[in-house]
Structure 1
């Protein structure tokens, strides 16, 4: 091959292609200005447009791959079918709830959740918090060992390791005594964990039925944005006992060498439920199972949601599902409504705090109108960009009067909950970040009950005793390169 002759033709080739490249560049920019902002947050649209205008071809390819958070049409159809089924079987149930001393705004928030996620607010629930990592795994293991009909397990990350082996052995014992065991786990998050493939193999070898949630198979006609994740954590036993919260079924180091080397350990919070809320969580599991398998398990009677429990000391609970299967951002709307409703105190625990503009305004406005607003986050984190992105919001929060507490390293405070005044709380899998609002399937539990809030406040007090408070004057003294890094990371968070 005559390389000199070939190289000599390059200038002429470039000259010939230049008009074509220019036209393609202009077309990409014009189409982007028209298409990108449609039904998208202004901040997200501006971030995408910036990426496309800086590098039109790579930027437009990335937008085509990651620009939409919508699921395929058939998946959204299945979600609507389940919603209609729940609404049909629970029609009029909201009127049966006793007229107890709630905050005046609470009924409208419950109605919002009912409209968005179909689940009703139900009384007669018993709830117990598990703030200790291995204690919650032991409680879930005991519940599985007591199962008689079925066990439903759903986790973002599911790993059989030295900490969780007892739980998996309980699943095996349940299957051996004839209990139906169904397991769901997020495909990417579990398989990429060091113990993920071994866990899948163990489930298969022990004839425990499992399905991987949101597998990415574009060659099979299952095209969607590849980074959509199912982030829910649910265990349901016989439709009577359920667990949910922030904890994955995995060792508190997440089995990663980097975490072990740094001494990172996760602190989580789970809640054990008995009563109608357990059936609500089961309905959510069945929705996810149906979405992945096209099979609707006949294990629980939705009519049981109408059972009236009026035992004193129990709580009103409402399951709040959210994610790309819904038309709106259910959790974001709930959180905003609750923040604006707070009158005295608002305490938030979120390891990944990257709010959109509406959430940031709601929180800073609450502080500015005199509400005692406190945020618990982490002094250290496992996700580099998210860690620096969330730090970019601290100055605005501190200036508004929000108190920020950073849980001391090397512990990662992974709990996700908040309390409003003295009677209302939310606990679940959802962070206060744009990924949880738009891209992840999440589950939250809205709870009305003073005793439950008091228990959560005790946990918050423990967090406070283990945290360092961030002061504005100290925060402003950060080195300039660190501030620049925080602000650049913030830009990446808006590309949703």
Structure 2
């Protein structure tokens, strides 16, 4: 044989060996569909596929970070040993008790009562509300956002931080490292925080020359503000102007519609426990957990709330388990709002099964997408959902519905930072709040009514008539979504 033949034989044998090795390594502790997608990528584009797998194919954080999560979980469980008081447990649906036990086993935080929680879907109004809360701070302010940029829209928030530090308030700030590189004014933002005496650290930094490295697409996507363990905010909104400083968004006239919650009561210190865990992971400084007694009588609210952190620092897909359980328990109604809806197989099956049981299911998504691949992957699920009887509402452009929440039977809701997609379930560090309280649920139903009024309902015949090119893009994008 010629040298060329020998080289071809060697490359072919290497390709076969790589495929066999990939099949063994990739399938370990991985969902079958995800494993098959990775094996196909490695076999059909062997060297690039293998390199990509080495970069983003491992789904957990480094061992030392997971050890810190377990350490703080142990402390949180010790702090909350024994029964916890809730506002109206006798009124819970029968499945909610087991759900709270599931969450506590997964995330180490209890369901607590006596909370006063309000909704805010006004973007600039939420920034003003957070700034007002910071102005009342006496001891400490904890800020944690996936994206944090000092700009014209967020300036009231940052100026409130400056006034707080001037009063001697300890201000700690966590921002995601990779997200910070993707948006303008990161140096100006960091310089401002340093100039006022705030303590800034970036989450999950990628600095291999400093020994700081993990899978680069594992990100901290949480949004949190806690003031003195007395007032807290969380939800879907990032700390940036509502067009995200992107030229294409401005050109298309896009702006983001969010939903945040303002929390007063015992759940605030549970939100703070999540911040304390992330601060410990990034700085090595373990702040003290609030262990003071809770007097429900001193709180005017009557909402039960349970904070559930999730992400690759845990051994389980915490939010995926909760969301799947809740959808299966629905008897009268399911309403889901997610800007990026690329469901795990178990979530999709839960939705289809619930719809087949005759339970009305509705899904609110944006008519227009800001991330092309995710938007096309999301669209690939519409046909099977519509055939199952799920009603899909497309929130009208140019507004992008970025809120993340869902409600079950008009009784229980989840609001937080987690999308209903595989990235949020497995790759991003997220925060969700499980909620029970009639008044709050009524407010959330009113928000969903507003969405419905500003949306057009997608019909199956209309969807099946879309151009072949769009169908092809949707299906191709769906394949790439499995590469987790």
Fold match by TM threshold 0.5: yes
Please show how residues 212-361 of structure 1 align to structure 2 within 5 Å. 212-298=202-288, 300-304=289-293, 306-309=294-297, 314-361=302-349
Deviation by residue 1:208-261 (Cα, 9 ceiling, x = unmatched): 210000111233333321111100000000001000000001100111111111
> Looking at CA atoms only, which structure, 1 or 2, has the larger radius of gyration?
1
Please show how residues 101-120 of structure 1 align to structure 2 within 5 Å. 101-120=91-110
Give yes or no for contact 1:150–1:238 (8 Å, CA) kept in 2.
Answer: yes
Secondary structure of 2:334's match? strand
Matched, 1:144 2:137: no
- Cα deviation for residue 73 of structure 1 reads 0.4
- Cα deviation for residue 205 of structure 1 reads 2.8
- Cα deviation for residue 187 of structure 1 reads 0.7
Using the alignment, how far apart are the partners of 1:249 and 1:369 within structure 2? 41
- Cα deviation for residue 271 of structure 1 reads 0.3
With over 3 angstroms needed to count, the CA separation of the structure-2 counterparts of 1:324 and 1:307, relative to structure 1, is: farther
Using the alignment, how far apart are the partners of 2:210 and 2:59 within structure 1? 19
With over 3 angstroms needed to count, the CA separation of the structure-2 counterparts of 1:471 and 1:103, relative to structure 1, is: same
Give yes or no for contact 1:185–1:213 (8 Å, CA) kept in 2.
Answer: yes
- Cα deviation for residue 23 of structure 1 reads 2.9
Work out which of the residue numbers 196, 215, 229 in structure 2 matches 1:206. 196
- Unaligned 5+ segments in structure 1 are 1-10
Work out which of the residue numbers 374, 397, 403 in structure 2 matches 1:409. 397
Deviation by residue 1:155-183 (Cα, 9 ceiling, x = unmatched): 00001111000110000110011000000
Secondary structure of 2:322's match? helix
With over 3 angstroms needed to count, the CA separation of the structure-2 counterparts of 1:492 and 1:13, relative to structure 1, is: same
Structure-2 residue corresponding to 1:4: none
Please show how residues 402-441 of structure 1 align to structure 2 within 5 Å. 402-441=390-429
Secondary structure of 1:100's match? helix
Using the alignment, how far apart are the partners of 1:337 and 1:96 within structure 2? 21
- Cα deviation for residue 308 of structure 1 reads 3.5
Structure-2 residue corresponding to 1:457: 445
Deviation by residue 1:372-401 (Cα, 9 ceiling, x = unmatched): 111000001110000000000000000111
Secondary structure of 1:354's match? coil
Structure-2 residue corresponding to 1:399: 387
Deviation by residue 1:179-214 (Cα, 9 ceiling, x = unmatched): 000000001112210232321222223322100001
Using the alignment, how far apart are the partners of 2:220 and 2:361 within structure 1? 30
Number of residues of Structure 1 aligned to a counterpart in Structure 2: 484
Structure-2 residue corresponding to 1:5: none
Deviation by residue 1:387-441 (Cα, 9 ceiling, x = unmatched): 0000000000001110000000010000000111121110000000000001000
Structure-1 residue corresponding to 2:147: 157
With over 3 angstroms needed to count, the CA separation of the structure-2 counterparts of 1:90 and 1:303, relative to structure 1, is: farther
Work out which of the residue numbers 35, 38, 51 in structure 2 matches 1:45. 35
Structure-2 residue corresponding to 1:7: none
With over 3 angstroms needed to count, the CA separation of the structure-2 counterparts of 1:132 and 1:97, relative to structure 1, is: closer
Using the alignment, how far apart are the partners of 2:43 and 2:291 within structure 1? 51
Deviation by residue 1:443-480 (Cα, 9 ceiling, x = unmatched): 00000111111000001000100000000111110111
Using the alignment, how far apart are the partners of 2:422 and 2:298 within structure 1? 38
Q: TM-score scaled by structure 1? A: 0.95
Give yes or no for contact 1:36–1:49 (8 Å, CA) kept in 2.
Answer: yes
Secondary structure of 1:230's match? coil
- Cα deviation for residue 17 of structure 1 reads 3.0
Using the alignment, how far apart are the partners of 2:299 and 2:271 within structure 1? 21
- Cα deviation for residue 21 of structure 1 reads 2.1
Give yes or no for contact 1:125–1:309 (8 Å, CA) kept in 2.
Answer: no
CA RMSD of aligned residues (A): 1.5
Q: TM-score scaled by structure 2? A: 0.97
Structure-2 residue corresponding to 1:367: 355
Using the alignment, how far apart are the partners of 1:341 and 1:310 within structure 2? 34
Give yes or no for contact 2:88–2:302 (8 Å, CA) kept in 1.
Answer: no
Please show how residues 22-33 of structure 1 align to structure 2 within 5 Å. 22-33=12-23
